[in-house]
């Protein structure tokens, strides 16, 4: 079977790895950038993603280049009191079947890139168009080449060309939030005692999240604020440090010290799209952000792309070149419910994180602390997400591959 993957981000490279592991050997990956590259920031690979990467034989690399996380600790941004713990660490490894990692995005991409063995990687190749009949798909590149394949996977991100070709061109919606991001060398954080966990501070209207990457030499900072508080909102644009400091004036320690230690922040707009009802048309399927951009407040968009990649590879492996459309429909059927829940809860988490009304904040904090009396490690919030075993789900009878129930937060 001739398979073409459009996009070499986490989703596209993971798709190549998973397809190779299923025995496919005629794969081409087309990436518009001249090299595989990710923005200079950290990423969380929760237990469900790490479990799949372990299955693919990549856990040692993750351990070597990432940091094993103790879990997520959420504090009030004003009084610094703990609101919620969702534990990972050793307990999480036993409970969810794999550790939780923090890693630099570039390192994760590099691990996936190195795991690709037989796929032909065509860098500097932007896909500009696609057409198909019942036997073949033809991709057109910016250079005017035509690439033929039996199946095409669109892993080309939130501004996907393939999505536009299949379902019409629309701009992603601005979420109303922007993220400040920075990597801070450990030397600049003398006296700051932050464990190897994800530490977050909530509200009003803003949040700050930090975790260690690069084996613990750098702290990754992600700060979400209303978009009206900054003057530019473009991927990778350098932010004005005075805007950043103003947004976190009065924050509790050690967040205040961490923000002051930042030298070169940049700004990522958070964009979104409504969840498509359909991710496949004939011999073409979308996955990852091309199919379903997910708000970042469960830190699971990339991990969902990993899960997509594995399920897709199993569906194609069970099928045949004459029944590609059926395999792709099965892929969507197995994934849609899970992704819809992750997308919904991620969006609800944005509300939980960024409440502004003091009474609502007090109510949220009380409810979370009350819940912790019987569920101290936050299973109610994480069990359905981090405990998901995509390797089993990909081969389970269809009626039993559905996601476990996720909580309703707002």
| Contact call for residue 303 and ligand FAD (CB under 6 A) | yes
User: From CA 108, how far away is CA 117, in angstroms rounded?
Assistant: 16
Question: Which of 48, 72, 220, 268 touches ligand FAD (CB under 6 A)?
Answer: 268
Q: What SS3 class is residue 394?
A: coil
User: From CA 152, how far away is CA 165, in angstroms rounded?
Assistant: 13
| Contact call for residue 239 and ligand FAD (CB under 6 A) | no
Question: Which of 66, 70, 301, 383 touches ligand FAD (CB under 6 A)?
Answer: 301
| Contact call for residue 346 and ligand FAD (CB under 6 A) | no
| Contact call for residue 286 and ligand FAD (CB under 6 A) | no
User: From CA 174, how far away is CA 177, in angstroms rounded?
Assistant: 8
| Contact call for residue 92 and ligand FAD (CB under 6 A) | no
Query: In this structure, are residues 227 and 267 in contact, taking their beta carbons and an 8 Å threshold?
Result: no
Cα–chain center distance at 145: 32
Quote the Cα angle for 82-84-88, to 5°. Answer: 115
42-61 positions binding ligand FAD, by CB under 6 A: 43-44
Work out the angle between the directed axes of helices 301-318 and 324-353 (0-180°, nearest 10).
Answer: 160
| Contact call for residue 17 and ligand FAD (CB under 6 A) | no
| Contact call for residue 30 and ligand FAD (CB under 6 A) | yes
Give Cβ neighbours of residue 276 (< 8 Å, ≥ 6 apart).
163, 167, 286, 291, 292
Give Cβ neighbours of residue 181 (< 8 Å, ≥ 6 apart).
39, 41, 220, 221, 222, 223, 265, 266, 267, 268
Number of residues that bind ligand FAD (CB under 6 A): 33
| Contact call for residue 68 and ligand FAD (CB under 6 A) | no
Least distance in angstroms from the C-beta of 121 to ligand FAD: 12
| Contact call for residue 305 and ligand FAD (CB under 6 A) | yes
Query: In this structure, are residues 309 and 17 in contact, taking their beta carbons and an 8 Å threshold?
Result: yes
| Contact call for residue 10 and ligand FAD (CB under 6 A) | yes
Question: Which of 296, 319, 378, 383 touches ligand FAD (CB under 6 A)?
Answer: 296
Question: Which of 76, 165, 289, 307 touches ligand FAD (CB under 6 A)?
Answer: 289
| Contact call for residue 77 and ligand FAD (CB under 6 A) | no
Query: In this structure, are residues 221 and 176 in contact, taking their beta carbons and an 8 Å threshold?
Result: no
Least distance in angstroms from the C-beta of 173 to ligand FAD: 14
User: From CA 97, how far away is CA 111, in angstroms rounded?
Assistant: 21
| Contact call for residue 222 and ligand FAD (CB under 6 A) | yes
Question: Which of 3, 16, 18, 31 touches ligand FAD (CB under 6 A)?
Answer: 31
| Residue closer to ligand FAD, measured from CB, 28 or 222 | 222
Is the bond leading into 2 cis (omega within 30 degrees of zero)?
no
Least distance in angstroms from the C-beta of 397 to ligand FAD: 28
Least distance in angstroms from the C-beta of 213 to ligand FAD: 11
Q: Site residues (CB under 6 A) for ligand FAD?
A: 6-12, 30-33, 43-44, 126-127, 155-157, 161, 179, 222, 268, 270, 288-290, 296, 299-303, 305
């Amino acid at each position: 079977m001739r398979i073409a993957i459009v996009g070499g981000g986490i989703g596209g490279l993971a798709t190549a790895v998973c397809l190779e592991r299923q025995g496919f050997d005629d794969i081409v990956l087309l990436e518009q950038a001249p090299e595989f590259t990710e923005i200079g920031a950290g990423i969380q690979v929760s237990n469900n993603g790490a479990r799949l990467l372990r299955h693919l034989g990549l856990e040692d690399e993750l351990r070597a280049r990432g940091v094993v996380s103790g879990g997520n600790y959420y504090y009030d941004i004003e009084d610094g009191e703990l609101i919620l713990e969702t534990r990972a660490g050793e307990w999480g490894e036993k409970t969810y079947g794999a550790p939780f990692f923090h890693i630099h995005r570039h390192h994760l991409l590099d691990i996936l890139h190195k795991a690709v063995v037989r796929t032909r990687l065509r860098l500097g190749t932007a896909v500009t168009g696609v057409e198909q009949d019942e036997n073949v798909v033809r991709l057109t590149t910016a250079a005017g080449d035509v690439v033929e394949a039996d199946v095409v996977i669109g892993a080309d991100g939130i501004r996907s060309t393939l999505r536009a070709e299949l379902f019409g061109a629309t701009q992603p919606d601005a979420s109303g939030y922007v993220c400040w991001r920075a990597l801070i060398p450990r030397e600049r954080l003398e006296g700051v005692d932050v464990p190897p966990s994800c530490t977050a501070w909530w509200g009003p209207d803003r949040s700050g999240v930090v975790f260690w990457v690069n084996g613990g030499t750098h702290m990754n900072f992600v700060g979400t604020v209303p978009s009206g508080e900054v003057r530019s909102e473009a991927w990778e644009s350098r932010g004005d440090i005075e805007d950043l400091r103003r947004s976190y004036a009065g924050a509790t320690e050690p967040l205040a010290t961490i923000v002051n230690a930042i030298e070169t922040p940049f700004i990522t707009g958070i964009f979104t799209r409504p969840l498509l009802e359909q991710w496949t048309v004939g011999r073409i399927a979308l996955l990852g952000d091309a199919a379903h951009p997910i708000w970042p407040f469960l830190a699971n968009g990339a991990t969902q792309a990993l899960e997509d990649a594995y399920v897709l590879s199993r569906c194609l492996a069970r099928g045949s070149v004459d029944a590609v459309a059926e395999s792709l429909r099965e892929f969507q059927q197995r994934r849609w419910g899970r992704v819809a829940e992750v997308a919904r809860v991620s969006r609800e988490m944005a509300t939980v994180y960024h409440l502004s009304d003091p009474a609502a904040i007090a109510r949220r904090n009380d409810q979370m602390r009350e819940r912790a009396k019987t569920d101290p490690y936050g299973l109610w919030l994480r069990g359905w997400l981090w405990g998901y075993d995509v390797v089993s789900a990909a081969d389970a009878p269809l009626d039993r591959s559905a996601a476990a129930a996720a909580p309703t937060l707002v």
